Every structure is written in C-alpha cells, then in structure tokens.
Amino acid sequence: MSSTEKLEALLPESLTPPTRPADGPPGEAADWLKTVPAAPAVYALLDVDGNPVLLGSTANLRHAWARRLSTSSALAAPPRPDDRALTACVRYRRIGNAFAANWWYYRCARRLFPGRYRQMLLWKPAWFIWLDSQDIWPRWRIGPSASRCHQACFGPLPGRACAQNLLTGLEDLFDLCRYYDILRQAPQASACPYKDMGKCPAPCDGSISRDAYLEQLRRTAEFLSSFTFQSAGQAGAAGVESTRHDLTAAMRSAAATMDFHLAGRLKAKLTRLEELTGADFRHLNRLDRCRYLVLQKGFTARWIEPFLVLPQRIEVGPAVKRAALAEASESWWQWIQHQRTTASGPAQAYETPASWPVEEVLGLLAWHLFRTRDPGWYVPLWGIDSAASLAEAVRGWRPGETTGYKAVT
C-alpha cells in the first residue's frame, strides 16, 4: 500500500493556480493567493496529466506561492519558470510540526517518486547492529538495514561511526573474535595477536570450543537486550550495572593478587563500558521492542498531535486539546494496545499492507530522537504497562518545549 497510496488521501486539499500566472493580470494572481492558506504544509505540484512536477514542504504555503507567482517580487528571486507553466494543480496537506511534515513528505515521495525518493529525504536510514547466525560461526554485523531476526537486532543508532564504536566496544568487553577469515578455519587456524594480548580466547586454534564461544555471543546479546534507557534517560541497571559490578570485582581481585596486567585489561574494559553509556546509545533497544508514543504540537499550541511509532509503520492519531491531555491517556492506551497486537509476533507479523522499510521508518524516528533540540515528547513504550503509567509519562509536557522525554540525559 505504501508505494501505491492514493495521492488524494495523502494530500487531501487542492488548488488550481491561475492559467499562465506570469502573464496574467496581477489582480487575478493576488485574488488567487488569498485562497491559499498561510500555514505550514506539505504540497505537490501536478501537471495536467497528474504527473508530479515538484514535491516540497513549507512553513507558509501562501508565501511559497507568492514567490512562484511573481517574476519581480522583492520576496526572492523568481523560481524556475517551467514549474509555474507546467503546474495545473496544487495538492497539499496542512501540518503542525516538523515530525508530521517529514512523515507525510516521506509517504508522498514514495508515492510520487518511487525510484528516487530516498535521495529526496532529509534524513538517512538508521543504523543497526545484529547477530548474523547464517554462518557456522555467528558474528555481530552493523549496517543501515535492519535484520529480519528481531530478537538479535538492536537500534536505532545515529550513524556508521556510532555503530562501529558499539561493535568495537562489544568486541573489547566480551573478547570476541575480530578476524572472521581466520575463525572460519577453526580449529586448525593460527591464532592472531589478540590471543597473546589476552583479548581473545582463540576459538580459531581450538583453545576454547565452539560451544564456549557461542556462549560468549549469547552473553553479548543478553547485555544488549538489557542495555536500554529508562524514561528518565538513565541507562538500564540490568545490563550496565551488572557488567560494571562484575568487572570492578574482578579488577580488584586481580589487583589484590598482584596481577596488574589483568587488572589493567579489566580497567580498560570498564572504560569501554562507560563509553557505551553515552548519548549516542541512549535509544538502543531490541528491534521488536522499539515502540514510541510521539507527541507533537498540533496546528496551534492548544492542540497535541500523537504518533505511534512501530518498527515498520507510524500511525497518526486524532489531535486532542492540550487541556485534555490527562483524559487522552486512556484513549491513547487503548489505541496503543490495539496497534501493538502484532508487534510481539514473528517478523512476518509486521508485514501489514501499511508497512514501510524498518530502516526508513526508524531513520525518521532517529533523526528526531538524536536532534539536540526537538520540541516533541518521545515516550518509550517498553516501560509503559497501563493507562495510568502512560498518563504519568506525558504529564507536564507543553507543546513547543525543546526538552522532551527523550532529551533528558
């Protein structure tokens, strides 16, 4: 459905610009401009055959068209004349916030420009880390595409460098193999220098069994599964605190026995662990648990527009008045319960008629989550278990604030 959505549903309102606006009477263009709303909008210019001429978003649709209808306006330099001459219809949707603008622009771009819409997006696909179990020796991989194995895929991450730092950190913390071309030769391979440095148990030369190495990978996955941030923006205690406690105890034990070489390596692991509690990893979660209720300002500050973000789709809820925020939590909870019924199932359960690529949907989410200042409120739903806890999570937010649920660190 996503690539064949009806344009009338995506951009429900339309306008017909004056014929040959550059040559027509000035009064005709001025009168027509009065019918154009002076409001933020996502819009598309269509020719007489309904083919797209241009897709864009603007903070003021009337201002954008004033630029296009004037060849000498002091507002700006004139636009390309072919846009004016070719446009037979303007379709648009009013929007109240940047999140809505990006979401509707994305859907329209997929509909109008299916071959090149990715190049038209402001944001890039989110990055993920996942356990690749296809080979005889499983390994962690990173990339901008989400794995279909949701139980061992984690994200979103803001970019390649962050994903690489996470992968390197896991290798250092759990002594994982770095050279898989050597590991595939196990147990007849010659160990790499990491064995001599005490940073790898060397399954490649048979120093440990395959089952023992798979246990290390399992512990790594468990660490990532519990390495989630709570609503207040603090690292989850289960993964980080447990690992920190174990490393600290082992380091002190090594120091007590005068094994300073081992104590130094354990201290380096603690440093690595602290690096993984930075802001770039504050939204890391298992893919099947990556669900957010996003609240944004509506058309005015008196209104709130809710979005439910699931791994492969974003549902837009009806706007509610800010004064009714507490009462809305009950209806939002029912809405979330209804929409998330498939979210706990297998990967195929996400394949609904209204689904989009995971990396693109979560790429849009990550673009807003990792912005320094974003006026939205992002409620992670994996810690919400009732309408009352949801009401507590959204209490106190006011549209237009730039410190949201996700921004507290």
What is the DSSP secondary-structure string of 150-204?
Answer: GGGEEEEESSHHHHHHHHHHHHHHHT--S-HHHHTTTTSSPPPHHHHTTS---GG
In the predicted model, what is the mean pLDDT of residues 136-151? 80
Chain centre to alpha carbon of residue 109: 18
Residue 131 neighbours by CB under 8 Å, 6+ apart:
138, 139, 140, 141, 147, 149, 152, 153, 217, 220, 221
Which pair of tokens denotes residue 201? Answer: 């148990």
Confidence tier at 397 by pLDDT (50, 70, 90): confident
What's the pLDDT score for residue 403? 44
* 186/68: higher pLDDT: 186
Question: 143, exposed or middle or buried, with CB in 10 Å at 0-12, 13-18, 19+?
Answer: middle
Mean pLDDT of 317-331: 87
Mean pLDDT, all residues of the chain: 81
Q: Mind spelling out the 3-state secondary structure of 87-133? A: CCEEEEEECCCHHHHHHHHHHHHHHHCCCCHHHHCCCCCCEEEEEEC
- Residue count (the chain): 409
**Residues in CB range of 336: below 8 A, 6 or more apart:** 291, 293, 308, 381, 384, 390
> Does residue 293 surpass a pLDDT of 90?
yes
